[in-house]
Structure 1
Amino acid sequence: MMHTASARSVSPPAAERTPPPIELAEHASAKPIPLDDVTGRALAASGLVEVTPDPYLPGHWRVKAGRKVGVATVTVPGSRTVTVRITPKTPIARLLFLLGYSLDPKGWRNDDADLASEPDLLPALARLFARQAEHALRQGLLQGYRRTEETSLVIRGRILEGEQIRRQHGRLIPIEVAHDEYTTDITENRLLRTASDRLMRLPTIPPAGIPTDARACVLRLRARLADITPIGCGHEIPAWRPTRLNARYHRALRLAELVLRGFSVEHRTGDVTVSGFLFDMAKVFEDFVTVALREALADQPGRCAFQDGQHLDEHGQIRIVPDFVRYAEDGTPLAVADAKYKAEEPDGFPHTDLYQMLAYCTVLGMSEGHLVYAKGNGPHAAHRVRRSGIVIHQHALDLDQSPAGLLAGIRDLALRLDSSLIAAG
């Protein structure tokens, strides 16, 4: 009896225990999860998933994933945490292709995305990043020139006359100078360092966390980049330019950008903190469709605009933003398209998308508009709007096919978008 009492005395109260990871699938039905009220309310406040009290099971909450996929940790009041893992419907290899192609359509290699054996996104991307980063640093850290402005006791570079007057008020020393410093603390290394830091902050949570071997590789990478300045949280990811000098870094940098994009979900809502690695599948699909359409039309005259802001009304108060607009060289709109990630509605397409495209066509003066859905084996449909002459086309792009098949589908779609290309064909 004394032994039993002792065991009970050291057990934390049920409300203070860390709940097990919540396993969800993208856009699947809600699952009843045993959670205390504090954790349930905190999870609902995070906006990560849809959470409501279960009316039939006391002490349970119904949790449903939306379009975000990946793994995240929600810290609730009292320093307790709950981990949520959301697996995508799209195969991991295909998802990595969509992400990578959007960043670098010419440089992304299909064999990089050949990770069919990986069941989860984060382990696959961590292994890929670690492997490519180690390859990039095999010849040592890249060096380059970085512009530095500082207050100095000696003249180095050139004097910043305006800053000298504003800060020193006529004094001869110290001196405000600017100079180019040859250093390893450049944008390319900072991106690798920051991506490594973010990955190391995630726990090893099988199967969705960082695998032990990949974590060890990232740790070695982090040690090699210890003297590099990381990019602060909340700061914009700095731009880098592919050159001959940083060629061995290209693939590692593209992967670092993917890692940092996935960590952009970190935020705080009141007493609830959300941190993790998540991608919005609607944004992933939109980025892929728009970039791939631009590449498919690259040899044709004209230009393509993404997220091209327009106004519905004459006073400019109602803003509309088509995902993709193709213009002729003289600025005349040639085609308009919108990407719709509607994997959760396999039986049909909502009418609101048609109304939205009708508004785009009206404002742009287009006789045709195109809606592109992420849906396998769906029929192509066309709707002629009464008394307007506008035809709205619906296209279905099957994501469950090879990269070559996806790009072939985009090329076919590009031909349908541009009536001049159809006439030429």
Structure 2
Amino acid sequence: MPERIVLAEYRSRTIEGLPGGVARALAATGAVIAGRDMDGRVRLTASSMVGLVRAGDVELVVQPKVGVGRLLWLLGHARNPSGWRDDDVTVGEEYDVVAGTAVAFAHRAGQALAGGILRGYRSVDEASPILRGRLREADQMRARLGVAMLLEVRYDDYTVDIAENRILAAAARSLLRLPGVPATTRAALHRIHVALSDVTPLVPGVRLPSTVTTRLTRRYEPALRLARLVLASLGIEVSADPVVGRVAASGLLFDMNAVYEDWLTAAFRGALERHGGAVDGQRVIRLDEAGKLAARPDITWWDGPRCLAVMDAKYKAPASTPIGDIYQVVAYCTALGLSDGHLVYAGGTSVMHTIRRAGIRIHVHVVDLAQTVPALIDQIDTLAAAIATQTREAVFASSRAATPPASVGPVLVGADGR
């Protein structure tokens, strides 16, 4: 059995006897920063990456603060807010990310296949010694003129080799290659793989085939949602390097900063667009007159060419607002001509900072990811409504305001006005 090291994200731990090559391999995946303490022992500090990595005889597990079930919900909701359901993920908090993902998928896929493997019609073009379906006359004349042995035909085949089964089979194969999958779940995944062995494997790197939900395919939907999530996730592989003494490493990691930003973008898109306009993520804006300084705010809300609001997602819970975060949003507001900007943290305290001389207001909002899914959605809806109201008030005020005095340069003011 491999040695298992468990860390919470952003936490540190000193590991006795950890080989240097293993430590370097783990650090190369981005999951941890490896260093040494005053006694020369290896100290691992987790980053924002959560998941599982195996290097040599060591398994490193970095657990998300929000829990595995909530992590998978955030990932799924970001990809499909209208189609993802909270009950798609039914795993206990004792599982790590890889084990939880595998358990949830094996459970849902097993339920989907329990009613029989789904079949469907697939259009087939092939050369056949017998006439089946419809003869492709043009292809027959072009490819086999004067040859009576084979006929170029087209027909609809009622088969298990359809997109839905290909996606489930590909997800099962991907999970079977990962370390850390419980033995009982690995056996269940193997049964799924065997049951779907007649389907054509998906080509890695090619976009997944689309599927349409019908009365017949509805029982597959929970498993398909999880399967798409598995296949969209990138596995981690680090090659061995004997020169520096690094061993090979593999596993599955998620960057919680990206997970939170992607989810918040999708959630705001649904909530803010009910008030009009369009929400965009990572749109390039120019900070200088020459257009040479490019920036990408996390979330922006637009009415045609006019930006209505800018929001920056921060997956952290600071005791006070970091000054660097303030600088960042002030720059966005200045370039976009906005009087208000928004920071959305995953914890902390809501507050507002007004920038002296410039008059720009930075609103600090807090989203509690530990809430139930309905309460979490309500938080976003309430926050979106507040941003929409504030935006309307700012637009009305600017239309009535006189020409502002020349700016002397922004000076930060705290919530207490000092």
Out of 363, 366, 371, which is 1:401 matched to?
371
Question: 1:150 Cα deviation (Å)?
Answer: 7.7
* Residue identity in the other structure for 1:28: R
Which residue in the other structure is 2:24 paired with? 41
Which residue in the other structure is 1:67 paired with? 48
Determine the C-alpha separation between the residues in 2 that align with 1:324 and 1:96: 22
Which residue in the other structure is 2:222 paired with? 251
Which residue in the other structure is 1:25 paired with? 8
1:88 aligns with 2:64: yes
Which residue in the other structure is 1:4 paired with? none
Distance 1:122 1:246, change over 3 A: same
For the Cα contact (< 8 Å) 2:171–2:230, is it kept in 1?
A: yes
* Residue identity in the other structure for 2:35: T
Q: The residue matched to 1:27 in structure 2 has which SS? A: coil
Question: 1:114 Cα deviation (Å)?
Answer: 5.2
Determine the C-alpha separation between the residues in 2 that align with 1:315 and 1:236: 39
Distance 1:40 1:420, change over 3 A: closer
The CA deviation string for residues 171-229 of structure 1, in whole angstroms up to 9 with x for no partner, is 99999x996864433332222111101211234xxxxx323332222111111111223
The CA deviation string for residues 142-177 of structure 1, in whole angstroms up to 9 with x for no partner, is 3456677889999965868xxx8xxx9xx99999x9
Q: The residue matched to 1:278 in structure 2 has which SS? A: strand
The CA deviation string for residues 41-93 of structure 1, in whole angstroms up to 9 with x for no partner, is 33333333101233413xx311111111111123xxxxx45321111211333
For the Cα contact (< 8 Å) 1:46–1:269, is it kept in 2?
A: no
Distance 1:393 1:184, change over 3 A: same
Out of 99, 109, 116, which is 1:123 matched to?
99
1:265 aligns with 2:248: no
Question: 1:108 Cα deviation (Å)?
Answer: 2.5
Which residue in the other structure is 1:320 paired with? 295
Distance 1:118 1:46, change over 3 A: closer
Which residue in the other structure is 1:354 paired with? 326
Distance 1:89 1:381, change over 3 A: same
The residue correspondences of 1:172-321 to structure 2 (distance < 5 A) are: 182=157, 183-203=159-179, 209-233=180-204, 235-244=205-214, 246-262=217-233, 264-268=234-238, 271=241, 273-321=248-296
The residue correspondences of 1:121-160 to structure 2 (distance < 5 A) are: 121-144=97-120, 157=136
Question: 1:325 Cα deviation (Å)?
Answer: 1.4
TM-score (norm 2): 0.79
Determine the C-alpha separation between the residues in 1 that align with 2:177 and 2:101: 15
Give RMSD over aligned pairs.
Answer: 3.4
Question: 1:232 Cα deviation (Å)?
Answer: 4.3
Determine the C-alpha separation between the residues in 2 that align with 1:217 and 1:292: 34
Determine the C-alpha separation between the residues in 2 that align with 1:148 and 1:366: 57
Distance 1:381 1:225, change over 3 A: same
1:388 aligns with 2:358: yes
Question: 1:374 Cα deviation (Å)?
Answer: 0.8
Determine the C-alpha separation between the residues in 2 that align with 1:360 and 1:228: 50
Determine the C-alpha separation between the residues in 2 that align with 1:269 and 1:214: 27
For the Cα contact (< 8 Å) 2:342–2:365, is it kept in 1?
A: yes
Determine the C-alpha separation between the residues in 1 that align with 2:288 and 2:121: 49
Determine the C-alpha separation between the residues in 2 that align with 1:253 and 1:420: 40
Q: The residue matched to 1:94 in structure 2 has which SS? A: helix
For the Cα contact (< 8 Å) 1:130–1:217, is it kept in 2?
A: yes
For the Cα contact (< 8 Å) 1:157–1:180, is it kept in 2?
A: no
Which residue in the other structure is 1:51 paired with? 34
The CA deviation string for residues 235-285 of structure 1, in whole angstroms up to 9 with x for no partner, is 1441524432533322111101222234x0323356354421222111111
Question: 1:298 Cα deviation (Å)?
Answer: 4.2
For the Cα contact (< 8 Å) 1:103–1:254, is it kept in 2?
A: no
For the Cα contact (< 8 Å) 1:158–1:179, is it kept in 2?
A: no
* Residue identity in the other structure for 2:282: Q
Which residue in the other structure is 1:417 paired with? 387
For the Cα contact (< 8 Å) 1:159–1:178, is it kept in 2?
A: no
Which residue in the other structure is 1:15 paired with? none
Question: 1:21 Cα deviation (Å)?
Answer: 2.3
Determine the C-alpha separation between the residues in 1 that align with 2:137 and 2:284: 42
Determine the C-alpha separation between the residues in 1 that align with 2:331 and 2:146: 64
Determine the C-alpha separation between the residues in 1 that align with 2:2 and 2:94: 26
Question: 1:373 Cα deviation (Å)?
Answer: 0.7
Distance 1:393 1:421, change over 3 A: closer
* Residue identity in the other structure for 2:50: V
Count of aligned pairs: 381
* Residue identity in the other structure for 1:332: R
Q: The residue matched to 1:325 in structure 2 has which SS? A: strand
Distance 1:41 1:419, change over 3 A: same
For the Cα contact (< 8 Å) 1:133–1:221, is it kept in 2?
A: yes
Out of 335, 338, 347, which is 1:366 matched to?
338
Distance 1:45 1:117, change over 3 A: closer
Identity of aligned residues (%): 39
TM-score (norm 1): 0.78
For the Cα contact (< 8 Å) 1:147–1:178, is it kept in 2?
A: no
Out of 99, 120, 124, which is 2:75 matched to?
99
